Amino acid sequence: MKKKYPLEILRQLNNYKKNIPAESKFVKPEKGYIRYEDVDSESDFYFQINSYAQNQSGFYYNVEFKPTSANKLGKREGTYKYADLNHQIKSWSNVLKQFNETEYFDDDPITTNYTKEFFEEYKILEDGADEEPFDLKRQILIDKYLDSSIKYLEKYEEKNPEIDLSETKEEASNLKEHLTELSKNQVVKRLSKFWALCRKNGLPILKKVFFELAKELITEFGKKMIGM
């Protein structure tokens, strides 16, 4: 199949597949060649390379993306040469970054502050941590940790029916679902949100979920537990 494409197109599309823009994940499109989507599971932002063509000046690509810009949230279609397309993808990625770094006015300030505190403590500083995923061993470790945490939260709710932990459990479940699509620090940021929700729900929950169940996990991150 690969010999149906010009060599230049193969090399360029391979480059797009390997170099996923920050704040996005690679998704195999139903149609077209390359598709990036916002790592935020509640977002419908995307960038897709649909097709290529050639004229006297060389190859160009037909693409579709959303949002158009930081303040124009609709989708846009266009054709770009390789160098221009690179610039457009960077611009789209920067818009995602701005959105994901900007607080939502309706977010709970306590959870937001707790999330920041955890992330600043446990973010991974090694090169590539914002782009590369965890290896399989650590992905399995995180998945098992989230399973154990969800089971604990379910039992806690049974013993304390007045407490609703649905948002906390949903955060853990959502991270489990998208774990293999995220970079190391994207995972740590999502874990930070999960820990923040546990903390907001009370120290007994935090002590179990963070100080007990997460010991092995945080050791794998190369960090020490707070206060331990």
What's the pLDDT at 39? 86
C-alpha to C-alpha distance for 141 and 35, rounded to whole angstroms: 29
Let me know whether 79 and 124 are in one domain: no
Let me know whether 97 and 116 are in one domain: no
Let me know whether 83 and 145 are in one domain: no
C-alpha to C-alpha distance for 86 and 90, rounded to whole angstroms: 6
What's the pLDDT at 199? 95
227 within some domain: no
Let me know whether 144 and 190 are in one domain: yes
Let me know whether 17 and 36 are in one domain: yes
Taken in order 39, 135, 91, 84, is the CA torsion positive or negative?
negative
C-alpha to C-alpha distance for 105 and 163, rounded to whole angstroms: 25
Which of 69, 101, 133 is the last residue before a domain boundary? 101
pTM: 0.73
C-alpha to C-alpha distance for 157 and 174, rounded to whole angstroms: 19
Which of 101, 123, 155 is the last residue before a domain boundary? 101
CA 67 to chain centre: 17
Q: At what angle do helices 184-200 and 109-122 cross, to 10 degrees?
A: 130
Beta bridge partners of 64: 48, 77
- Provide the number of structural domains found in the chain: 2
What's the pLDDT at 226? 43
Domain ranges, residue 207:
109-220
207 within some domain: yes
Instruction: Name the token pair of 10.
Output: 């193969």
DSSP string, 14-79: HHHHHSPPTTEEE---SSSSEEEEESSTT---EEEEEEEEEETTEEEEEEEEE-SBTTB-S-EEEE
52 within some domain: yes
Q: Which segments of the chain have a pLDDT < 70?
A: 222-228
Let me know whether 163 and 135 are in one domain: yes
Let me know whether 124 and 212 are in one domain: yes
Which of 37, 68, 101 is the last residue before a domain boundary? 101
DSSP state of 105: T
228 within some domain: no
173 within some domain: yes
Let me know whether 72 and 122 are in one domain: no
Instruction: Name the token pair of 122.
Output: 């446990």
